[in-house]
Structure 1
């Protein structure tokens, strides 16, 4: 870590000194690009073409002031083209460099919006809700009416090819182990923590969601099933501006959200910040029907429970960018959240020797108080080394998470006649968790020419966690510690990584070849049990991507990547967490990382229709298993390694424009997954199933200021390790209206219109008998209002990617 920080400082010092020097090279063309309002065009693409044959000689990106410069030019005549998103491509020239005219400043180049006029109707291009670029599927959430007021988790559950099981595990086209990034940064959260974080991330704050099945070596190798990058909205205007958002909703209980985004941009400083609040009350019903057999005696359990949650979540972010001239930017940002939740869980357990017969009853009233806080600090630096695209980025991050969870369990026991059978059993679990993350990374891009570049970088992360699990019994009106159940668990992990990624474009072929090396050291220490598990391993992760254009309308591609999933910190902690007396989860300190090799073959037609065939094989696959203890008659939720999982898939994505006002996007996936293990609960295990997934989104332009959207998805039965899930389906509907010169927007949305989304699973192990159903509050009607204020001049905002995202992904956030 010290070496990486030192390297960052030396790079910063060297690049700043080099960029401060002047050049005496001859043969130079310089200029300035502005829009129709004569405001600078920032980060526009400028190309220098030979007038003789129109071949591109050099390329450049305009600076913050709209300036560009081409150096070291040979005598000759040139044209200049300028391209900027949403604006017409502009050809300028000719311009001549000669022995007499070596330094040339061209007149200001003005570009105009790409607006086509038909009689009196202006037609301006708008991004579709779903689009594909190379190997990335992009959901333009900011354009979606259904995203208003929804959470990130709800939006992801409807994404093409995605499925989320009852434990919150995300699968992409049948491939579990998907890693989630926010603004290009891994979150380092456990599955439960990530689910909670996504559940409280407001959909109004999301710009796009990117789905990547085979990411390049530039990204962390974590994520055997692929990666999801959630990009949050960023203000793009000069001066002072912002957005106000407020909304409310109702399903069975109320929902509320509010937020503000502010941005101020002057010549050398950019200040930004946002704050979002959500306050929701929601329910979840859970039913478990199961039986256990021991010594020729069978016991039946019928458990019915309702959980009520009251959530109040606050999230914030603030930062500053300072421009050290045109080529160097240094920035600082801080972000965090403070989330509170009260849980009221009531469970009735009916126990009998035969189905329908009640021999005894246990009623449980479990009250929980949970508080989660987090702060992340990021120092970043960017240097643009020349006009060809050579640049260096550096990030230093420090994050800390404080999770405090206290649950009191009150259990009452009754006989068959409903009379109290014995004294109540009252106990509580207190689970404070402290997590600290220090991470640093440096990325460097060197373009050999406009069609060939090399990306390299290094990264280091150091994570420590401390879980002090305390179990106490209520005895004699006092809380007494139970040493048999209490446990302190500490964990530390250090990952050092380096990568190289080579990109080359030919006439009709594009090749990307990369290699990433990651050295991992981890130590899990169960202090109470005096059990220490240490691991130290080095892994290499190659990746390859080839895109071949066959003709104007036809393109094929092939990609391969090798990836890893490390256990999250919570899954390694061996303490027992109770849902009730008969259902609980337990960590596994012996859990090993899983490794996967993924292959994809794709075909594209007219940049619209895409067909993809995929195969992935994962060894030591980490799987959530539901295991029955026939002696204690309990159901254990336990994470363990199975030998292997193999998945073969086919995906078709096809947008269809039915009329000028009605457009659709349709995505279908067919896949077969197979799990296997030579020994699971004392017997060989195999479980496989063919699954079909379908997602269709219909958008309707009712008039220039009103749009409607309808989305429907279906997932047939599928396998998740040791259990099988029944089909899940639902329909969502929304409508939006803009006014006040499109500065204000009001959206009305209904999620799960017919209240059909429900998770039902059963055991895939023949000797185990259980059926579990979960029904969350899913039919919700929401009304959301947003208003944009301030200046409207276009500016460019930096894309940030801090160095600790991956580590944060494995910390529970409890949102």
Structure 2
């Protein structure tokens, strides 16, 4: 760790010296700044025009200073405007662009332009009434953006429910996320990780109410600026935040047969100081889940059948508070505190029928498991810009403290015999410290250099009832990167870079395993983009990524909730290394959008679960090398101005070659289909139906059966659009969703049939109060720890995976 910190601060000093603009407040001249405000309306109807874009350009040097987007009342407020003469440009689809000259002075830094009327274009006036609705899906050069706040069917659900509807993503019933067939993805919240993710992404996603989510960004070709982790890509969930002057807030309540949520947020901004806060709770109503398990060992000629029901429970709470302060026009500080707690449990009774040759016996297995996870995150960020547009220097720090408890009790109840009981408990902590610095320098508008350094120190401790199984794991990561982007031609752009990461690992597991490992890797990335027009783009990208195993895969705790299907981590795992080549195309044609991509992915040291019938144990190993080909197609179409149809198809091949045996799993196809229809009516009514079908998915030893999800929602704006009320339904035609997982070889057969109670009905209500303004300040730099492979399923010792989705 000392070497890591020394390396970081040495290079940090060099980077700081090369920034070539003052950091200390003493040498910074504090400039009087103000704002330019106005109200944008339609020239014919005098109705507000929301989502109109405005930009302010300084006339003296023709440089863009700031911009804003009008809110639902047509109001804009462009902040941090120094005294001077500017050109204000206002534009929106269906209207003629308007340009005004404005002047602010030190004596009058704030300028209100009053009402500005936009004139509709002659060939597009019929569409003016619907263009204020932001598109549900947007494509950008390096990512796809799903605007969840525009989706009326997400109310009452959680982040897992939202993810099921995002193009290119698929989510299984436990909430595990895959991107284009790869589970090696990194999930961030507002660009930052949470210690909860180190245990299980599925559980962490269930802690986020859907109503809190603003957008979901899917990044398939991350540049070298991002951590090398996440070989399948990066998913960034952006939550709703208010940045208005004054006080604003929101209340969201959802009640239903499957899940109940409550959330309250309060935000205030006075001058340069802003405070945001949020608190939320959730509770899932326990329901019976039918479970059928089968284990056959061909070598021993034994069969074990288990069938019965389990009842799952789940509840959680979270809260956060953040403070940001603009010291002056070029310097800003921000900090935040976040805490969450999540608890799950399962109680079940299964009847067991055991056969060994001609002998047969029957008994009952009773089980109870409890899991609790809590996490506290503290972040602090400093950001400095300069008079050179685009130049930026930032320093960020984060400390994360996670705690988890897993307990289980299993009782075998035999006829006329005393019951046998197995007890297990595991308590652990996961502490993580991060320091990061980034610097961006624009040589010109088209040539931009990005550099940065990062250091991460992790320590995981896991204690057991049996002290001989204690696990102590340390991991230090040091990284540096450089990225440059420039124009190769007028419409041909390039962005490429190189990231270097050094990882040092040491730890002990019990009294027999003491391990130490370190490795150094280089991660190149490149993307070439050709713009054929403002609406049509073709891009070719390459990047190399890594997937380090997280606590879920490493923890050697032996979970014996079901002694016939035990589970244990493997601390000796190597990281995965992946090379990805992708060709993508996107175009907009008369209100319709098409986004398509094809890719090739090569992964070494693939981490997957392996079942050993002789030990009745599932653990994790580097099973081999995977070569995968695939494509994704997303399209949206508007048959009528307020009617939107969209669909997504993802397909990829699956094959793993084991280098030890030189045997292949064979080539299989994994695919996902998504369809959606949404209609808006006059009077503030909105309705939507959707359907998702995940085809059967192949794994190293077996297959997980297909899954279908579908639902609908109806929402009404009330109280002058300050509030909404709605109803939603999910899988209404069947109470249960049947999922079969089948693992087999020449030695054994293992099947798990789960009948999840998934049908649900719900109502939801949301209310916004205070002054609402969508004009956000410049985005703050932040920590992005995206370097750990996450758990495949939720923790907590569920009976054969019998947790409730």
Asked if TM exceeds 0.5, the reply is yes
Q: What secondary structure does 1:577 align onto?
A: coil
Kept in 1: contact 2:230–2:787 (CA 8 A): no
Find the partner of 1:346 among 346, 349, 354: 349
Do structure 1's residue 279 and structure 2's residue 289 form an aligned pair?
no
Deviation at 1:189, TM superposition (A): 5.3
* 1:162 and 1:170 in contact (8 A); partners too: yes
Secondary structure of the 2:733 match is coil
Instruction: Provide the rounded CA distance (Å) in 2 between the counterparts of 1:306 and 1:162.
Output: 31
1:672 aligns to 2:673 (yes or no): no
**1:454 corresponds to:** 449
- Deviation string 1:349-400 (CA, Å, 9 cap, x unpaired) is 221257xx98212322222333322111111111122251211222111110
The answer on whether the counterparts of 2:410 and 2:561 sit within 8 Å (CA) in structure 1 is no
Matches within 5 A, 1:402-441: 402-413=403-414, 419-420=415-416, 422-441=417-436
Q: How many residues align?
A: 758
3-state DSSP of counterpart to 2:163? helix
Identify which of 172, 179, 185 aligns with 1:178.
185
SS at match of 1:758: strand
CA distance in 2, matches of 1:661, 1:601: 32
Question: Where in structure 2 are the equivalents of 1:549-568 lying within 5 Å?
Answer: 549-551=531-533, 554-568=536-550
> Does the CA contact (< 8 Å) of 1:687 and 1:764 recur in 2?
no
Classify 1:67/1:184 alpha carbon distance in 2 versus 1 (closer, same or farther; 3 Å): closer
Could you tell which deviates more after superposition, 613-622 or 444-453?
Answer: 444-453
Query: Which residue, 126, 131, 137 being the options, matches 2:138?
Result: 131
- 1:115-126 matched pairs, under 5 angstroms: 122-126=129-133
Map of 1:101 onto structure 2 = none
What secondary structure is seen at the aligned counterpart in 2 of 1:234? coil
Structure 1 unaligned blocks of 5 or more? 24-28, 51-55, 72-77, 96-103, 414-418, 472-482
**Structure-2 change in CA distance of 1:772 and 1:599 (3 Å):** same
- Which residue number corresponds to residue 605 of structure 2? 620
Q: 1:194 aligns with which of 172, 178, 201?
A: 201
Aligned to 2:47: none
Report the CA distance between 1:797 and its aligned residue: 4.7
Partner in structure 2 of residue 141 of structure 1: 148
Instruction: Verify the 8 A CA contact 1:189 1:808 in the aligned structure 2.
Output: no
CA contact (8 A) 2:86 2:101 kept: yes
CA distance in 1, matches of 2:113, 2:496: 38
Q: Note if 1:269 corresponds to 2:310.
A: no
CA distance in 1, matches of 2:58, 2:784: 39
Deviates more, 1:297-306 or 1:448-457: 297-306
Q: 1:558 to 1:757 in 2, by over 3 A?
A: farther
**Residues 392-446 of structure 1 deviation map (CA, whole Å, 9 limit, x = unaligned):** 2221111101112222221212xxxxx33x3211121111101111111112121
2:246 to 239, 261, 268: 239
Q: Which residue of 2 aligns with 1:773?
A: 753
1:523 aligned onto 2:506: yes
Contact 2:547 2:577 in 1 (8 A): yes
Quote how far apart the aligned CAs of 1:807 are: 6.6
Matched, 1:383 2:384: yes
Aligned partners of 2:673 and 2:693 also within 8 Å? yes
Q: Distance in 2 between matches of 1:122 and 1:135?
A: 31
> 2: distance between equivalents of 1:618 and 1:408?
39
Deviations along 1:328-365, whole A, 9 cap, x unmatched? 111221001123334313332221257xx982123222
Asked if 2 retains the 8 angstrom alpha-carbon contact of 1:761 and 1:773, the reply is: yes
Matched, 1:208 2:253: no
* Cα separation, partners in 2 of 1:126 and 1:65, compared to 1, 3 Å: closer
Please give the alpha-carbon distance, in whole angstroms, between the structure 2 residues aligned to 1:670 and 1:42. Answer: 38
Contact 1:317 1:334 in 2 (8 A): yes
SS in 1 for 2:307: strand
Indicate if the aligned counterparts of 2:56 and 2:89 stay in contact, CA closer than 8 A: yes
Equivalent residue, structure 2, for 1:741: 720
Query: Contact between 1:440 and 1:804, CA under 8 Å: does it hold in 2?
Result: no
Matches within 5 A, 1:577-656: 577-606=559-588, 608-629=593-614, 632=615, 634=616, 636-656=617-637
Q: Secondary structure at the residue paired with 2:304?
A: strand
- Residue matched to 1:499: 481
Query: Is residue 134 of structure 2 the alignment partner of residue 154 of structure 1?
Result: no
C-alpha contact (below 8 Å) 1:602/1:610 kept by paired residues = yes
Q: Residue 304 of structure 1 aligns with which residue?
A: 307
Deviation string, structure 1 residues 564-599 (Cα, Å, up to 9, x no partner) = 000112322223112312011111122100000001
> Following the alignment from structure 1 to structure 2, what is the Cα–Cα distance between the partners of residues 197 and 655?
31
Distance 1:712 1:794, change over 3 A: closer
Contact 2:160 2:175 in 1 (8 A): no
Residues 1:70 and 1:741: Cα distance change in structure 2 (over 3 Å)? closer
Distance 1:487 1:691 in 2: 38
CA distance in 1, matches of 2:142, 2:667: 27
User: Judging changes above 3 Å, is the alpha-carbon distance between structure 1 residues 106 and 436 closer, same or farther for their aligned structure 2 residues?
Assistant: closer
- How far, CA to CA, are the matches of 2:110 and 2:340 in structure 1? 50
Partner of 1:701: 680
| Structure 1 position 325 matched with structure 2 position 328 | yes
Distance 1:704 1:512, change over 3 A: farther
Whether contact under 8 Å (2:38, 2:112) holds in the other structure is no
Structure 2 unpaired stretches of 5+: 42-50, 69-76, 797-805
- Alpha-carbon distance, 1:309 to partner: 2.3
Contact 1:433 1:468 in 2 (8 A): yes
Counterpart Cα distance in 2 of 1:777 and 1:57: 61
Asked if 2 retains the 8 angstrom alpha-carbon contact of 1:671 and 1:692, the reply is yes
- What's the offset of the Cα at 1:281? 2.4
